[in-house]
A and B are shown apart, each in its own frame.
Chain A
Amino acid sequence: MKPLKDWFVPWLFTAREYNTAILDKAWAKPDYGRLMLNENPIPPSDKVIQAVADVLKKGNRYPDSMLRLRTKLGKLHNVGPDNIALCNGSSEIIDCMMRIFLEPGDEFIVSNPTFGLFPPRAELVGGKVVSIPLRKEDLQYDVDAMLKAITPKTKVILVINPNNPTGIFIEDKDLIRFCETGIPLCIDEAYLDYHPEISSKDFLLKKYPQVFLSHTFSKAYGFAGIRFGYVVGTEEMVKAFNTMFLPWNVSLMSMAAAEAILDNPEEVAEKVKHNNRWMDIFTKELVQVGLKPFPAHGNYMLVDATMTGKTTAQILAAALETEHIFLKSIPVIHGKDGYFRVTPGLDEENERFVRFVRNYFGKK
């Protein structure tokens, strides 16, 4: 009999892995600071919990198409309910966009580094990931190089704005160069809600129907475990996503939670305030000891500590050991080891991080 593995599609073995082992470690050590995951440290409000509890009583029913919720989300982007597709966190968009645009052998253009879930999801449909390094001097998207990498096989391009892991915004004129190619473009705005003063790129959709936005409530809204996200696009684009998404992909509870927090924008504003306050403190502290934090605009900060001679692995181990905090490992960028990423946690965890920075990197 043929061994089971021979039945599997070949890309099941060749696709790179998105490793979530750190989650098991973190859940196993609840008193450790989880500063590595771009989560929101503040739990959902009582209003959200109540809304979920209320709808749970109707949990025996299949949900409808949630016109009200889609209308409310559409209002955030000056579009209508039919321009919004709901999903279980934006990871579902990442997976679905590959299935919508890529046939085996087609190419997906992405920067390097990027959010680690994109490459495996492209590879799991037999797609080819074309990774273009960020510019050496400022870690911005290398737009020229990305455009040069376009071939007839290029079927979708990704821009995360602000980018992960750098936290840097792309300029409109650069973004428009991608739009002008006519190739489907995903603009992932996962972290944009931390900067309500910066507008969403939703205004591009009218002129460029091949563009779509990916949004999540996992970050500023603090729903990483509740799971909720949405696509913004033309009606044609949204239909494609809804065709590819499973019917009833989002649970009644997630949608009730989403509507409750949309109705209570102060909850998000508070979470954003907490985050941004600590982002400022972290920046000051890191600069103080001679490190180079990137001007980050999400709930995470890429830190260049390559000048200290310490490797990323050493830094992470020391933080875990001395202060019981998890930091995010960043692979070597342009041949240099010693980058890491940090996300603000609760006050007390952040104080531990600050102490770690002072003790580990500060002058002895």
Chain B
Amino acid sequence: MNVIDPDNPIPKYLQISAWIRELIQSGRYERGASLPSEVELSKICQVNRNTLRQAIAELTAAGMLRKEKGRGTFVCAETPLAVTHKLKSISSFSADLQELGIRERTRIIKKSLEGAGDQVAKKLILSPNGKVAVIRRIRSGNEVPFIYEESYLPGSTFRDILEMDLTGSMYQIINDRFNVTLARSDQTIRAVNLKGRIASYLNLPVNSAAFFMESLTYDENNVPVELLYSYYRGDKYVFEVELGRYHIEEDNVHQD
């Protein structure tokens, strides 16, 4: 791996400090951890020790690193708070936060009964003039917005949800109040840059990085019951996936 890109006009020491900063922000070096020695680091970065010291000095000045005489360099920046979402079973934001012991706050931007529109109708298998209950919410923890989400539910079944308290887990409500079991969900995750309105909901500058997740959740009968569009802050969210073992198995030969 090359830390330094020789074609990059940015000074080498700044390229190195950016690299170390990313290691800290992404949690690979946690608070209190020690960095490799200057000798090792300069080897890794293929720079002389002066350049390396310049980079470290930059981060020390920014308060991210601390030098201790004779002992080494330590991370003193807090690893930024990140919520981990396991892509394993259907779980709610409320549950993700509970795991971290953070208090959830949900702000409803808008909720209403609307015409489904082509795309939503198609995904939820509604008639083209079908109605959907639409709920737009910002999900925060410790006053920091994490997710902006738009939830679409078939109006015929879920219209009454609009009258309910939606500041907690909607999955709980769907389960308890509507007696609908959420059996499975098809999800896709894509990287996006946030546009104006959604960036401001999430307290971020325009064009900040985010994950966009589309979830189509089915009940026990294999009928789609919720289409959810979520924007997760790129700097605050971690998705965790557990994969099974690698195996090579030829698909059965297809017969016509």
Contacts and interface: CB of A to CB of B under 8 A. Distances in A.
Is this pair of chains taken from one and the same complex? Answer: yes
Interface of A: 68, 71-72, 74-75, 78-83, 262-264
Contact of B221 (A72, A80, A262): A80
A262 B223 contact: no
Q: Which of B129, B220, B222 has the largest number of chain A CB atoms within 10 A?
A: B222
21 contacts: A68-B125, A71-B125, A71-B222, A71-B224, A72-B127, A74-B221, A74-B223, A75-B125, A75-B156, A78-B221, A79-B221, A80-B219, A80-B223, A81-B221, A81-B223, A82-B221, A83-B221, A262-B127, A263-B127, A263-B129, A264-B127
- Which 6 interchain pairs have the tightest Cβ spacing? A80-B221, A263-B127, A80-B222, A71-B125, A68-B125, A80-B223
A262 B129 CA distance: 11
Contact of B222 (A68, A78, A82, A264): A82
B81 to A, nearest CB: 41
Interface string B208-225: 000000000001111110
A75 B156 CA distance: 10
Contacts of A74: 221, 223
A75 B221 CA distance: 9
B54 to A, nearest CB: 62
A75 B223 contact: yes
A269 B179 CA distance: 29
A72 B127 CA distance: 8
Contacts of A75: 125, 156, 223
A264 B221 CA distance: 24
A81 B127 contact: no
A177 to B, nearest CB: 28
A262 B127 CA distance: 8
A72 B220 contact: no
Contacts of B125: 68, 71-72, 75
Contacts of A79: 221
B128 interface: yes
Interface string B111-127: 00000000000000101
A263 B222 contact: no
Contacts of A71: 125, 222-224
Nearest to B156: A75
A263 B223 contact: no
A79 B222 CA distance: 9
Contacts of B223: 71, 74-75, 80-81
A81 B129 contact: no
A81 B222 contact: yes
Contact of A263 (B128, B156, B220, B221): B128
A266 to B, nearest CB: 10
Contacts of A263: 127-129
A20 to B, nearest CB: 35
Interface string B196-240: 000000000000000000000001111110000000000000000
Contacts of A83: 221
Given A75-B223, A81-B222, 19 more contacts: A68-B125, A71-B125, A72-B127, A74-B221, A75-B125, A75-B156, A78-B221, A80-B219, A80-B220, A80-B221, A80-B222, A80-B223, A81-B221, A82-B221, A82-B222, A83-B221, A262-B127, A263-B128, A264-B127
Interface string B126-137: 011100000000
A68 B128 CA distance: 12
Nearest to A259: B127
Contacts of A262: 127
Nearest to B218: A80
A63 B106 CA distance: 46
A264 B220 CA distance: 26
A64 to B, nearest CB: 14
A253 B219 CA distance: 30
Nearest to A69: B125
A78 B180 CA distance: 11
Nearest to B124: A71
A103 B58 CA distance: 88
